[in-house]
Amino acid sequence: MSAESPRLPLASPDIGPLEEQLVVAALRSRRLSLGPLLREFEALLGERLGVEHVSAVSSGTAALHLAVRAAGIEAGDEVVTTPFSFVASANCIVYEGARPVFCDIDPVTLNIDPEAAAAAVSERTTGLLPVHIFGYPADLPALEAIARRHGLWIVEDACEALGAVHDDGVAVGARGHLAAFGFYPNKQITTGEGGALVCPDAATKARVDSERNQGRAPDMGWLDHVRLGFNYRLDELSCALGIAQLKRLDELLAARARVAAWYRERLSGIEGLGLPCPDSAGARRSWFVFCVQLPGDVDRAGVIERLRARGIETKPYLPAIHLFSYYRERFGYRPGQFPVCEHVAERSLALPFHSRMRESDVDQVATELERAIGRVRAGT
């Protein structure tokens, strides 16, 4: 089996006839940017989340960058965030000359630990940037209490969490904070590339809409740019794809939850294997990936190689951001500072996961994973 074309890839977007129909219609319209589909996509996403103001942009990273700018970040500020995330959640802080201050994570949810976050706040801290990791809602009520106590803003990285719900019944992204979503092809819905930012009010959306379009004036006049801006627009083809995906969101979420349930059932008997935490109280995860934590005595690279040889793609997910070369060299982070994060990062493994997986696919992954763990342990 070729390692370049695994039979069971890590992710695969769920694209159907409606997506094809709407994208072709967008092509035929000849209006490929800044057209009516942008406004329709934003309105549909806002309706789904229960919010009024949404700005669609070119990526989740772009949404995060515009979010911290809208929050008022300045050079020299400190922002408390998690080291267990995709690197964009920290990079967006660095883009503006500020410093990401990492703190450790909860060993169960893998989200930022509110007690650790509170301990990391200093006189230079201006904001908190929690991540709803792997689609599980972060403890926003606890973080909101910290923010109120210290006068901090909150930006939510919800790029992995469309469809997730907090234990008080509020949708992730709908608590009144700036909240960024991402729509890369492995996400719950995809626009190819793309993202969106939930804004707390109309004035913030107007600013974000301007900044995503090179800082143009509110009337979109070509002759005046009223602020520093970026090319963070989302094109009409992407919006057409996103509209179709949003119309199918319940179907896509249910399919991913079904695959996750199969995995949980098949993997529960593997000794020492850590599974994603179940939903607790009223909180509901939106399944982005299915990541396990390998037993501590098992070499992860060996498991990955054996699964690859059987046509199953896996990936270490996620590395600890503070141990990346750039962050160690620029900010002085070092191993041992965040032991829970580092322990999880050393053991985590993402398995093939998407809405079109069959039960037989999950059976195969589970069987081969158990076999690979056993062979690595035995040294065969």
Spell out the SS3 assignment of 301-355. HHHHHHHHHCCECCEECCCEHHHCHHHHHHHCCCCCCCHHHHHHHHHEEEECCCC
- At 168 the pLDDT is 93
In the predicted model, what is the mean pLDDT of the chain? 96
CB 141, CB 156: distance < 8 Å: no
- At 3 the pLDDT is 45
Q: How far is CA 178 from CA 118, 251, 255, 338, in A?
A: 20, 27, 29, 27
Side-chain half-sphere CA neighbours of 202 within 13 A: 1
Decide: residue 65, CB within 10 A, 0-12 exposed, 13-18 middle, 19+ buried.
buried
- pLDDT tens per residue, range 45-72: 999 999 999 999 999 999 999 999 999 9
What does DSSP assign to residue 171?
A: B
Which is the CATH superfamily of the domain at 250-378?
Answer: Aspartate Aminotransferase, domain 1 (3.90.1150.10)
Phi, psi (degrees; rounded to nearest 5) at 255: -65, -40
The whole-angstrom separation of Cα 274 and Cα 253 is 23
User: How many residues does the structure list for the chain?
Assistant: 380
CA 63 to chain centroid: 11
- pLDDT tens per residue, range 302-346: 999 999 999 999 999 999 999 999 999 999 999 999 999 999 999
Nearest to 3 by CA among 302, 314, 269, 213: 314
**How far is the first Cα of the chain from the last one, in angstroms, to the nearest whole number?**
20
pLDDT surpasses 70 at 145? yes
Report the phi/psi class of residue 153: left, alpha or beta, with left for phi > 0 and alpha for psi in -120 to 50.
beta
User: Considering the domain 17-247, what is its CATH architecture?
Assistant: 3-Layer(aba) Sandwich (3.40)
- At 201 the pLDDT is 98
| 187 given a catalytic annotation | yes
Domain regions of the chain by residue span: 17-247, 250-378
- pLDDT tens per residue, range 214-273: 999 877 666 788 899 999 999 999 999 999 999 999 999 999 999 999 999 999 999 999
What does DSSP assign to residue 154?
A: E
CB 344, CB 84: distance < 8 Å: yes
Instruction: Find the catalytic residue in 187, 205, 247, 315.
Output: 187
Quote the tokens at residue 148. Answer: 């109120």
- pLDDT tens per residue, range 150-187: 999 999 999 999 999 999 999 999 999 999 999 999 99
